[in-house]
Structure 1
Amino acid sequence: MSANIVAILVLLALFYFPIYSPVSALSSNYYDKTCPQLEKTVTSTVQKATTNDKTVPAALLRMHFHDCFIKGCDASVLLASKGKKKAEKDGPPNVSLHAFYVIDNAKKAVEALCPGVVSCADILALAARDAVTLSGGPTWDVPKGRKDGRISQAIDTRQLPAPTFNISQLQQSFSQRGLSMEDLVALSGGHTLGFSHCSSFQNRIHKFNATHDIDPSMNPSFAASLRSVCPANNKAKNAGATLDSSTATFDNAYYKLLLQGKSLFSSDQALLTAPKTKNLVSKFAASQKAFEKAFVQSMIKMSSISGNGQEIRLDCKVVN
């Protein structure tokens, strides 16, 4: 086989199977000299928003995850749609994202201190960390130095792992982004915060398969409570359920409930279908400390996925 053909095959492989890699230039002290008040400013903004709306931490954590899983952590999820060109935030999996105003407010405050220095992608990464910490979870040094991307397409949201995914689909989605099975289980623990609409778990409580109306892996009384909130022909736009029993507190309750058959998504239940991930679920259910340590490591890893960033946006909603 000629060298030219080999080169073409390599290029094709990269095109169809994109490789995500960590951003090499990231550093926890990236803005120490150029914007020393950055972290304090972002934390203050997130804290103020959380005081007024307890759903903000879950929203910011989910927003960061959805940003990093499409084209890397480049704040593409923050860009607004332009005419008929729908941006990521208007893709089907992202229409329920909210609290974008928190990032906008943080950006304005940071711009007032350090004009044109800090990327929206870095502000989002910091806000996600603060969301966890302010909810009683761990803190960590966020590596910084991301650039903001200029491309955001709603169609790309099809790349996000769906709540209906099985374990092999989840493993593939995470491994394509350089994330391991341990990262998968640890990051799934982010479901300790937040709320889900009925549509994301309807498949488990109505017409599950030809034999069962309800997913037999679900706790029967838990399934019954979900069916009362989400009937088969549910028309209530905001109907749904909290993701765990302590929805505003970052803890390991998610894993404990998962072992009891009280998880919402098929993708949650899927973690119990492979020995390695099941063992990790049991480990994190037994130890909050072990979960927090793994979560921090996986968050740093995920938030370092290389993006297509090229600029420092002055307004997070539009390219410069």
Structure 2
Amino acid sequence: MAMATLLVMLIVIGSANSLRMDYYITTFPFAESIVKNAVNKALQNDPSLAAALLRMHFHDCFVEGCDGSVLVDSTEDNTAEKDSPANLSLRGFEVIDDAKEQLEEQCPGIASCADIVAMAAGDAIFWLINAFGRRGFTTTDMVALSGAHTLGVARCSSFKNRLSNQDPTLDSDFAKALSKTCGAGDNAEQSFDDTPKNFDNDYFNALTRKNGVLFSDQVLYTATGTRAIVNGYVMNEARFFLDFQQSMVKMGRLDVKEGPKGEVRKNCRKIN
């Protein structure tokens, strides 16, 4: 079962009684491959689009259902969803356009825009996880290392694009708290959890309450492939500590140069 198809089922099953898991298998077998190639091509040039494509899917689905309406441009007589204040920071539309153009060339009138957004979101999740995998990291490593956010803060400029009641991945009361923080300007600081000076599992507790400061934080809980790991760390802080330690050791060994390939610099600001 493809990740994209699974994501479609999980999110829109309640609003689409006629949803079929095998629809494109019987009508357009190469549809998902075409979308995946378009997404991968875009992400190779700009990896940050992965989170953007997933966010686009949520914004589409939580405003009158998964209908692709977030892709529609405004006209003189109507202001489209994408031009509402909540959606002005959305991006990645060109990826959907590219996929749609290729799909129409191969098999006109079959793949809906809403399905393309859903498939692209699933491929984006897959790409995020595989990006870690290509460096020797597992999904658990990715989640555990993200737990480092339990210490430190984020600046308003990093999360102000999420400040809208229409963002389904953000708790409305927490959104108000973040808005208050941003009232002091783009450089205003917001801690990632309630105990920013303690290394604990409170960061993961925050995600279960939709209190993730960054979209890349909250996606660890909204994505089905990582939610169980987050819940596990909420229930077992010692497990998080152990996994984090092991993942840090793995990261510390990443691309380490030994022997003649490495050097001890006399001045850390300059190459010998």
Normalised by the length of structure 1, the TM-score is 0.45
1:1-320 to 2 correspondence within 5 Å? 21-136=14-129, 159-161=166-168, 163=170, 165-166=172-173, 201-204=178-181, 217=194, 219=196, 255=204, 263-264=212-213, 282-283=234-235
Distance 1:214 1:206, change over 3 A: farther
C-alpha distance in 1 between matches for 2:64 and 2:52? 20
CA contact 1:255–1:284 (8 Å) conserved in 2: no
Distance 1:84 1:159, change over 3 A: same
CA contact 2:35–2:120 (8 Å) conserved in 1: yes
CA contact 1:206–1:214 (8 Å) conserved in 2: no
C-alpha distance in 1 between matches for 2:95 and 2:109? 19
C-alpha distance in 1 between matches for 2:74 and 2:56? 16
Compute the displacement of 1:217 (Å).
2.6
| Higher relative helix content | 2
- Residue equivalent to 1:195: none
Could you tell me which amino acid in structure 2 is paired with residue 282 of structure 1? V
Distance 1:93 1:131, change over 3 A: same
CA RMSD of aligned residues (A): 4.3
CA contact 1:49–1:102 (8 Å) conserved in 2: yes
Q: Secondary structure at the match of 2:15?
A: coil
Distance 1:136 1:203, change over 3 A: same
Encode CA deviations 1:61-97: one digit per residue, 9 max, x unaligned.
Answer: 0000000000100001010011252111011111000
Asked which structure has the greater RCO (Cα within 8 Å, sep 6+), the reply is 1
Structure 2 unaligned residues grouped into runs of 5+: 1-12, 131-138, 140-163, 222-229, 241-272
CA contact 2:165–2:172 (8 Å) conserved in 1: no
Structure 1 unaligned residues grouped into runs of 5+: 1-19, 139-156, 171-198, 208-212, 223-251, 272-277, 288-320
Compute the displacement of 1:205 (Å).
6.8
- Residue equivalent to 1:274: none
Distance 1:38 1:253, change over 3 A: farther
Normalised by the length of structure 2, the TM-score is 0.52
Q: Secondary structure at the match of 2:23?
A: coil
Identity of aligned residues (%): 38
Could you tell me which amino acid in structure 1 is paired with residue 51 of structure 2? A
Could you tell me which amino acid in structure 2 is paired with residue 96 of structure 1? S
C-alpha distance in 2 between matches for 1:124 and 1:136? 19
C-alpha distance in 1 between matches for 2:204 and 2:36? 28
Distance 1:214 1:254, change over 3 A: closer
Encode CA deviations 1:162-218: one digit per residue, 9 max, x unaligned.
Answer: 846138xx9xxxxxxxxxxxxxxxxxxxxxxxxxxxx993524767xxxxx978935
